[in-house]
């Protein structure tokens, strides 16, 4: 029996060391090194449940109990912080004479209304009554993504709105669009999708200021394809990871050179964006009302619990996000929960139009 527990203790110590090393590498490498992207699908809940499970085994470790307990409690506290457990800090600014308030609806539509009732889909969008819509997957998919043109229907459904389309991203605004940054992609086939921007920037006048709204749909970090023992598997993994890193770099570069305050919302395809944010001096927003980290995927279609937050909201400058909530009924049409929030845009301090 003594030898058995000795082996068990060694296993627990080894498992604790391995998990601590994984957590450290995750913090250092997630979103930065393409081979690590295969671990980007780790649900945040795991960094809490794994050390809790190890702690439940500590009483059997005998002479290592105290030291293991200390290490695992520290790992658990770190994981709790990384996963986003705890009360979210709510923004308290309000719109009024000193600023303008804009309602925004951001949503991955799950290949538009391809398998849904078209009229119900557009009715759902209209019901949101948002000033600005940031919609992703404005595309069909039958094997490969297929371009669509719903511009006539969108103009009919949203009279008075201006529209900007970039690949699979569409932005609708009933506020004046000052500039739409289009990036033409030469070539044919799938180049419009593979080489087109995944962060559509639209500059919109809000009150007396110009605010940049980024409609984001980053590539997934990795795709499982073929035999993991084959070279083709890792070539595909690298290709997907490099694509994502390239789009992240482009977004960060554009944001760094942007003189306007900005809103970034959409499907970032990672639950770990706080570890690898899309820019410096950027603020991440968390829906209020829950002590647990929010989950936006899968909202439908998959027999999995909603453990992953793939859809994010960031702001820069002096912007504030209020009434930030998830859902709004989009689960009837998409595997992603919608993001609904209000942005407060203070007047320019010098009273100038920027």
What is the three-class DSSP state of 239?
Answer: helix
Return left, alpha or beta for 107; rule: phi > 0 is left, psi -120 to 50 is alpha, else beta: beta
Phi-psi region for residue 329, left (φ > 0), alpha (ψ -120 to 50) or beta? left
Instruction: Based on the fold, state whether residues 188 and 59 are members of the same structural domain.
Output: no
**How much is the pLDDT for 31?**
94
Q: In 3-state terms, what secondary structure has residue 39?
A: helix
User: Are 182 and 318 members of one domain?
Assistant: yes
Rounded Cα distance, 303 and 308, in Å: 13
Q: Which two tokens stand for residue 262?
A: 């900005």
User: How many C-beta atoms surround the C-beta of residue 250 within 10 A?
Assistant: 14
pLDDT given for residue 354 in this prediction: 44
Same domain, 211 and 315: yes
Residues 72 and 107 in one domain: no
Q: Show which of 52, 83, 114 is a domain's final residue.
A: 83
Rounded CA-CA distance 201/123 in Å is: 26
Residue 88 lies in a domain: no
Residue 11 and residue 159 share a domain: no
Q: Is residue 24 part of a domain?
A: yes
Q: Find, among 176, 195, 193, the residue nearest to 138 by Cα.
A: 193
3-state secondary structure 92-158: CCCCECCEEEEEEEEEECCCCCCCCCHHHHHHHHHHCCCCEEEEECCCEEECEEECCCCHHHHHHHC
Domain's final residue, options 59, 83, 107: 83
Q: What single string gives the DSSP state of each residue in 44-91?
A: TTHHHHHHHHHHHHGGGGGGGHHHHHHHHHHHHHHHHHHHT-SPPPPP
DSSP-derived 3-state class of residue 206: strand
Residues 174 and 236 in one domain: yes
**What is the CATH number for 118?**
3.60.10.10
End-to-end Cα distance, the chain: 75
Domain that holds residue 59: 2-83
Q: Based on the domain organization, do 201 and 246 belong to the same domain?
A: yes
Four-CA torsion 245, 248, 250, 254, nearest 10 degrees: -160
Tokens found for residue 346:
């203070």
Q: Is residue 94 part of a domain?
A: no
Q: Are residues 341 and 238 in the same domain?
A: yes
- Which pLDDT value is given to residue 352? 43
Q: Do 273 and 190 share a structural domain?
A: yes
**What is the pTM (predicted TM-score) of this model?**
0.92
The confidence score (pLDDT) of residue 5 equals 54
Check whether residue 160 and residue 288 sit in a common domain. yes
What string of DSSP letters covers 285-353? Answer: ---SS-SSPP--B-SSSSSS-S-B--EEEEEETT-EEEEEEEETTGGGT-SS-EEEEEEEEEPPTTS--
* Residue 205 located in a structural domain: yes
* Residues of the chain where predicted confidence (pLDDT) is lower than 70: 1-5, 86-90, 92-97, 290, 349-354
Q: Of 83, 108, 127, which residue is a domain's last? A: 83
pLDDT of res. 87: 67
Based on the domain organization, do 19 and 111 belong to the same domain? no
Q: What is the largest CA-CA distance in the chain?
A: 79
Q: Is 198 a domain residue?
A: yes
Q: How many domains does the chain have?
A: 2
Is residue 103 assigned to a domain? yes
Radius of gyration in angstroms for the set of CA atoms belonging to the chain, rounded to a whole number: 23
pLDDT tens column, 41-100: 999 999 999 999 999 999 988 778 889 999 999 999 999 999 988 666 667 666 666 789
Do residue 200 and residue 325 come from a single domain? yes
């Amino acid at each position: 029996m003594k030898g058995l527990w000795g082996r068990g203790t060694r296993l627990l110590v080894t498992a604790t060391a391995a998990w601590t090393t994984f957590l450290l590498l995750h913090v250092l490498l997630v979103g930065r090194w393409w081979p690590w992207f295969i671990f980007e699908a780790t649900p945040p809940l795991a960094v809490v449940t794994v050390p809790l499970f190890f702690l439940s085994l500590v009483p059997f470790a005998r002479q290592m109990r105290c030291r293991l307990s200390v290490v695992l409690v520290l790992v658990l506290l770190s994981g709790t912080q990384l996963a986003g457990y705890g009360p979210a800090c709510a923004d308290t600014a309000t719109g009024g004479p000193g600023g303008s308030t804009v309602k925004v609806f951001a949503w991955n539509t799950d290949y538009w209304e391809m398998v849904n009732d078209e009229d119900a889909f557009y009715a759902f969008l209209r019901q949101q009554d948002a000033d600005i819509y940031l919609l992703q997957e404005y595309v069909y998919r039958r094997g490969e993504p297929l371009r669509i043109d719903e511009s006539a229907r969108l103009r009919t459904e949203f009279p008075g709105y201006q529209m900007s389309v970039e690949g699979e991203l569409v932005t609708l605004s009933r506020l004046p669009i000052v500039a739409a940054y289009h990036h033409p992609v030469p070539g044919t086939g799938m180049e419009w999708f593979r080489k087109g921007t995944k962060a559509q920037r639209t500059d919109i006048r809000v009150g007396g200021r110009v605010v940049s709204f980024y409609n984001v749909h980053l590539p997934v970090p990795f795709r499982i394809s073929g035999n993991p023992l084959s070279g083709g598997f890792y070539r595909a993994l690298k290709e997907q990871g490099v694509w994502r890193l390239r789009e992240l770099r482009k977004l960060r570069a554009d944001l760094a050179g942007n003189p306007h305050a900005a809103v970034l919302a959409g499907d970032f395809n990672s639950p770990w964006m706080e570890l690898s944010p899309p820019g410096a001096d950027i603020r991440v927003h968390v829906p209020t009302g829950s002590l647990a980290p929010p989950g936006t995927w899968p909202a439908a279609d998959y027999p999995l619990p909603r453990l992953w937050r793939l859809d994010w909201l960031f702001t820069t400058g002096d912007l504030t996000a209020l009434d930030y909530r998830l859902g709004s009924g989009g689960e009837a049409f998409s595997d992603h929960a919608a993001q609904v929030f209000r942005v407060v845009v203070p007047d320019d301090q010098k009273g100038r139009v920027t």
